[in-house]
Amino acid sequence: MSTKSKCLYAFKDLECEVGIDEAGRGPVLGPMVYGCCFWPLSVRDEMKKTYGFTDSKQLSEADRDRLFADINSINHSQLGYFVSILHSEYLSNTMLAEFDNGGKNLNKISHDTAIELINRVKDAGIIVRKVILDTVGQPEKYVGILRAALKDPSIEIVVESKADFNHPVVSAASICAKVTRDQVLRDWQYPEKKQIDSEFGCGYPGDPKAKQWLKRNFDPVFGFPTLVRFSWKTCSTILEDNKANVEWFDPVVQPQNFGASDGKKQKTLGFGKTVTQKDADDLQKVSQKERENNRGLKNMKVKRNFQI
């Protein structure tokens, strides 16, 4: 059975445009969420006129929620959408890793996520004829990256600044991304075993509330809660200025004597220890909170990919 015969979208036989935008690229905490919306090329003007899609940053929270409800009400019949949620822990680990060990900068993460979303739309059986994206880096270079990855000359690729304002399909994608990110933050259950408040304001590095929250919830040994992007300069500065200094001594063992005892006792740290019942119970509690975070998104009926 072909992919198209499995397509769940009523407009599967029509040529479509795809819009992609993100929410939460700049904040020091919370996920970066990519939204992807698609509909037939023939209904572009109708969608703009009927629903008034525009850049999510120009809308109030109430208007964004209303439009997201509209998007869900016509999902599969007149349009489709996906979101990809890139959690702080994933961003931190990926951006701090060495490039030869899977590390990526934020632009590379953004490019790869956009490509994955476009391919997901194609895999859903949609005839993609045009993709429109807000630029990340130089527009011409981004077009080249997309062209090389998609390997489909029949697709028109448009990359420009303010695409979320100029193109309704990108506006709709930005609404999906923004509403999803806000919902993740509202429903977030901290897996850390300590009381952590959520008074972090907008979460941007320059926000005084965010700065105070970071300092208030900083641990000199473990750093910040997993909601925080450790790779951001704001965080690294706090870490450098306030971290606990740890010193330990480990006698040098010559290669020929490797494994032999020199009579000195060395304290074994907590790596590789046997997992006790208490350890297992604690892990279960963390897993339960992660499930609660995911359940909150499921209740929104959000189609999402998780990077955790």
Q: For 32-89, write each residue's pLDDT tens digit.
A: 999 999 999 999 999 999 999 998 888 999 999 999 999 999 999 999 999 999 999 9
What does the block give as tokens for 294?
């995911």
Which pLDDT score, from 0 to 100, does residue 302 have? 54
- For the chain, what is the mean pLDDT? 85
Confidence at residue 234, expressed as pLDDT on a 0 to 100 scale? 87
Average pLDDT over residues 226-235: 91
Cα–Cα distance for residue pair 264/272, rounded to 1 Å: 21
> Quick one: pLDDT band at residue 3, thresholds 50, 70, 90?
very low
| pLDDT for residue 16 is more than 60 | yes
Q: How many CB atoms are closer than 10 A to CB 50?
A: 13
CB 118 within 8 A of CB 173: no
Question: Would you say 21 is a known binding-site residue?
Answer: yes
For 76-124, how does the pLDDT look when each residue is reduced to its tens digit (9 = 90+)? Answer: 999 999 999 999 999 999 999 998 888 999 999 999 999 999 999 999 9
Per the listing, tokens 């690294």 go with: 236
Query: Among residues 94, 167, 182, which one has the least CA distance to residue 132?
Result: 167
Residue 276's pLDDT band (cuts 50, 70, 90): low
Q: What is the pLDDT of residues 204-227, one digit of tens each?
A: 998 999 999 999 999 888 899 999
* pLDDT tier for residue 1 given thresholds of 50, 70 and 90: very low
Question: What angle, 0 to 180 degrees and rounded to 10, lies between the N-to-C axes of helices 168-186 and 61-73?
Answer: 110
Q: Would you say 219 is a known binding-site residue? A: no
Nearest to 75 by CA among 172, 164, 4: 172
Of residues 102 and 16, the one with the higher pLDDT is 16
Please report the pLDDT score of residue 9 as a whole number: 95
CA distance 250 to 130: 60
pTM more than 0.95: no
pLDDT above 50 (res 2): no
Check whether 22 is labelled as a binding-site residue. Answer: yes
In whole angstroms, give the CA distance from residue 75 to residue 82.
Answer: 10
The partner residues of 158 in beta bridges, in order of sequence, read: 132
Q: Which residues contact 54 (CB under 8 A, 6 or more apart)?
A: 165, 168, 171
Tokens of 79: 């349009």
Predicted local confidence at residue 150, as pLDDT: 96
